[in-house]
């Protein structure tokens, strides 16, 4: 084989090796320059499957399992990721949604404490409300001291997701909380009446 | 095709992996593999871009990823009436309210709005020059050292900061001619505030003065702002004044109180770096490069140091004396009693300063 033909074969091999034999589809971009072809992919969003991660589905919402003081949150008594007897529960959202005057609502974890046992949590239910500090969950948020206000029957709510209803009735969801929660109660000077509930 | 042309052909077909791309070369072709993920944008993450106004003036804008201040909800940015998001033709919850009446005044818009609002950054400070000076007894003017900037910017060729002294300008270094400017992004959270109510009365039966002091709780600012946490861009962030609980000792001043009824937290600083050789007096335009520096990366939860205690009664301060002595020394006691009440109020006054934590 002559040296010229061998050299030509090398060139052809290099050309094949550098040939872009793929179909450009969505997410793929190729930019040609005299010094080469630059290929870029559109990056997807990072997978951050965290506690309380909400997923809207139809008229309901499911959550990744979350805990408050290591107590698992539930929907009608079923853990958020289901158990041996029940599939993953769905929080049925009210129709219409409970929204404030800004078309904003919250998905909250509502804890019930037991005063006889150091105010430990005995129940953690997911609910949808407009105002987490209101007994009936309605109205605009009004809390100038922060933390969570105590509710009747030793309860308190803390939002784990925010809902925004757009003008076209589309609902967008945002997640302010990404980790399991810790809870404690602050009392009035009598040490028996709760003043505020702290979630952190 | 000549050999030169063939080489050019091959060079032009050479694959160079770009963003999110991994390349594996084989004799039969290159394998390209997309990997990874878009940069994760955390709450409060700042993205800056420069828009040109109709008159050609550059305007730097900061778009902020939705962040939450709980309890409450997402933060807001006050937008001017000419913002395109107020157009009734744009479908979003803000325009619902403006569809009937045109927005005519600055209006707060939530970060979760669609379209998203943005902060206009138009007040910059120069951290490389001195901004304060003092005069000595001999009449000399001494400049304080400049604020400075993170060491990272030294690599970008930013002018050295002034070390102060007789000259407040930035030091000259021919290899470092890029200008730098900065602006702070601040979150303002309204909250309950406190002040003292001081009343003085006279017990006519015994001629003894009685001073009553109690802590008053006010949510006026919270009500006026609907409790919205608001983002603003300022030239330089300064923490709000605390309620007067420091060293005021004059009568009356202890009880004035100047609780601003809000907290401000420093979210980020936007540093702007110019091209080399920029005019030292210039402001950032479209040729400058933004470098956001974040101080908060997660959503915020906040609470005041105290909450209103409706069960507590006002404190009454009086010095009990036998009835026969009341009239005699009552007036003399009044002055010291008043001082005692102020001191007691100072010690017992609750500060409603709020703290935040992230989750």
Question: What are the structure tokens assigned to A69, written together?
Answer: 């003081």
Mean pLDDT of chain A: 86
Count of CA atoms in the C-beta half-sphere (13 A) of B213: 24
Q: What is the pTM of this model?
A: 0.76
Q: Is A147 on the interface with B (CB under 8 A)?
A: yes
In tens, the pLDDT along A82-114 reads 999 999 999 999 989 999 988 899 999 999 999
Asked if B83 contacts B61 with a C-beta cutoff of 8 angstroms, the reply is: no
Contact residues, chain B, for A133 at CB < 8 Å:
71
Average pLDDT, chain B: 78
Window from A33-47, A143-157, B92-106, B289-303 with minimum mean pLDDT: B92-106
Lowest mean pLDDT among A38-47, A54-63, A127-136, B51-60: A38-47
Say if residue A119's pLDDT is above 50: yes
Residue B164 region, left (φ>0) first, then alpha (ψ -120 to 50), else beta?
Answer: left
Q: Is the confidence at residue B136, as pLDDT, over 70?
A: yes
Judge whether residue B329 has pLDDT over 80: no
pLDDT in tens, B145-189: 899 999 999 988 899 999 888 877 777 888 889 999 999 999 999
Percentage of chain B with pLDDT > 90? 32
Backbone angles phi, psi at A152, to 5 degrees: -65, 160
pLDDT in the model for residue A5: 77
- When pLDDT is averaged across residues A169-181 and rounded to a whole number, the result is 91
Q: What is the pLDDT of residues B11-29, one digit of tens each?
A: 777 777 777 776 665 555 5
Helix (H, G, I), strand (E, B) or coil at B338: helix
- Residue B252: predicted pLDDT: 46
Out of A39-53, A128-142, B13-27, B226-240, least confident range: B13-27
Query: Taking 50 as the threshold, does the pLDDT of residue B46 lie above it?
Result: yes
The shortest C-alpha distance from A154 to chain B (Å) reads: 18
Rounded average pLDDT over B113-128 = 92
Cα B290 from Cα A115, distance rounded (Å): 54
Residue numbers in B near A139 (CB within 8 A)? none
Ranking A125-129, A140-144, B135-139, B190-194 by mean pLDDT, the lowest is B135-139
Could you tell me which of B267, B112, B222, B45 has the C-alpha nearest to residue A162? B112
Q: Is A182 on the interface with B (CB under 8 A)?
A: no
Q: How far apart are CA A187 and CA A4, in angstroms?
A: 92
Q: Which residues of B touch A12 (CB under 8 A)?
A: none
CB A109 within 8 A of CB A177: no
Q: Is A13 an 8 Å CB contact of chain B?
A: yes
For residues B96 and B86, the answer to whether their CB atoms sit within 8 Å is no
Q: For B208-248, what is each residue's pLDDT tens digit? A: 667 676 777 888 899 999 999 999 999 999 887 654 444 44
Contacts of A13 in chain B (CB under 8 A): 27
Q: Quick check: A170 contacting B, CB < 8 Å?
A: no
**Lookup result for tokens 């029940």:** A86
Percent of chain A with pLDDT over 90: 62
**Cβ neighbour number for residue B77 with a 10 Å cutoff:** 23
Give the pLDDT of residue B204.
66
The region of weakest confidence among A15-29, A145-159, B44-58 is: A15-29
Which DSSP string do the residues of B81-111 spell out, in sequence order?
TT-GGG-TTS-SHHHHHHTTS---S-EEEET
In this structure, what are the phi and psi dihedrals at residue B228, rounded to the nearest 5 degrees? -75, 130
Q: Considering only A193-197, B71-75, B267-271, B349-353, which range has the smallest mean pLDDT?
A: B349-353
Task: Report yes or no: A169 at the B interface, CB cutoff 8 Å.
Answer: no
């Amino acid at each position: 084989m002559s040296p010229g033909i061998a050299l030509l074969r090398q060139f052809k091999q290099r050309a094949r090796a550098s040939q872009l034999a793929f179909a450009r589809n969505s997410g793929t971009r190729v930019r040609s320059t005299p010094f080469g072809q630059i290929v870029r992919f559109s990056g997807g969003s990072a997978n951050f499957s965290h506690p309380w991660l909400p997923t809207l589905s139809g008229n309901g919402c499911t959550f990744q399992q979350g805990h408050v003081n290591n107590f698992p949150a539930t929907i009608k008594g079923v853990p958020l990721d289901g158990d041996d007897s029940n599939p993953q529960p769905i929080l049925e959202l009210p129709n219409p949604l409970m929204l404030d005057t800004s078309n904003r609502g919250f998905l909250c974890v509502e804890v019930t404490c037991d005063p006889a046992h150091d105010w430990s949590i005995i129940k953690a239910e997911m609910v949808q409300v407009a105002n987490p500090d209101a007994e009936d969950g309605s109205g605009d948020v009004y809390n100038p001291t922060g933390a969570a206000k105590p509710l009747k029957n030793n309860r308190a709510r803390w939002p784990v997701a925010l809902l925004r209803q757009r003008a076209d009735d589309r609902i967008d969801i945002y997640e302010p909380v990404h980790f399991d929660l810790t809870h404690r109660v602050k009392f009035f000077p009598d040490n028996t009446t709760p003043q505020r509930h702290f979630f952190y | 095709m000549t050999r030169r042309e063939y080489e050019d052909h091959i060079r032009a077909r050479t694959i160079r992996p770009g963003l999110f791309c991994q390349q594996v070369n084989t004799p039969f072709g290159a394998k390209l593999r997309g990997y990874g993920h878009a940069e994760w944008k955390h709450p409060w993450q700042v993205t800056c871009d420069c828009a040109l106004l109709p008159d050609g003036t550059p305007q730097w804008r900061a778009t902020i990823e939705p962040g939450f201040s709980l309890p409450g909800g997402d933060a807001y940015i006050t937008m001017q009436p000419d913002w395109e998001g107020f157009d009734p033709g744009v479908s979003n919850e803000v325009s619902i309210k403006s569809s009937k009446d045109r927005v005519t005044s600055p209006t707060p818009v939530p970060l979760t709005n669609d379209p998203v609002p943005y902060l206009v950054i138009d007040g910059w400070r120069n951290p490389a020059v001195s901004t304060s000076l003092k005069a000595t007894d001999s009449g000399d003017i001494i400049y304080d050292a400049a604020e400075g900037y993170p060491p990272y910017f030294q690599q970008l060729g930013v002018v050295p900061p002034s070390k102060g002294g007789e000259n407040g300008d930035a030091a000259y270094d021919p290899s470092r001619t890029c200008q730098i400017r900065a602006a702070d992004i601040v979150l303002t959270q309204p909250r309950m505030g406190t002040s003292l109510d001081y009343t003085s009365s006279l017990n006519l039966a015994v001629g003894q003065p009685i001073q009553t002091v109690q802590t008053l709780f006010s949510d006026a600012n919270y009500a006026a702002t609907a409790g919205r946490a608001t983002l603003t861009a300022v030239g330089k962030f300064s923490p709000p004044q605390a309620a007067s609980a420091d060293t005021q000792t004059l009568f009356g001043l202890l009880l004035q109180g100047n609780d601003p009824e809000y907290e401000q937290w420093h979210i980020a600083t936007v540093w702007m770096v110019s091209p080399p050789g920029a005019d030292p007096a210039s402001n950032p335009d479209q040729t400058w490069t933004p470098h956001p520096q974040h101080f908060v990366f997660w959503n915020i939860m906040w609470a005041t140091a105290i909450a209103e205690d409706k069960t507590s009664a006002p404190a009454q301060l009086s010095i009990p004396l036998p009835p026969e002595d009341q009239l005699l020394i009552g007036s003399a006691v009044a002055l010291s009693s008043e001082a005692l009440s102020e001191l007691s109020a100072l010690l017992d006054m609750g500060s409603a300063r709020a703290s935040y934590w992230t989750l």
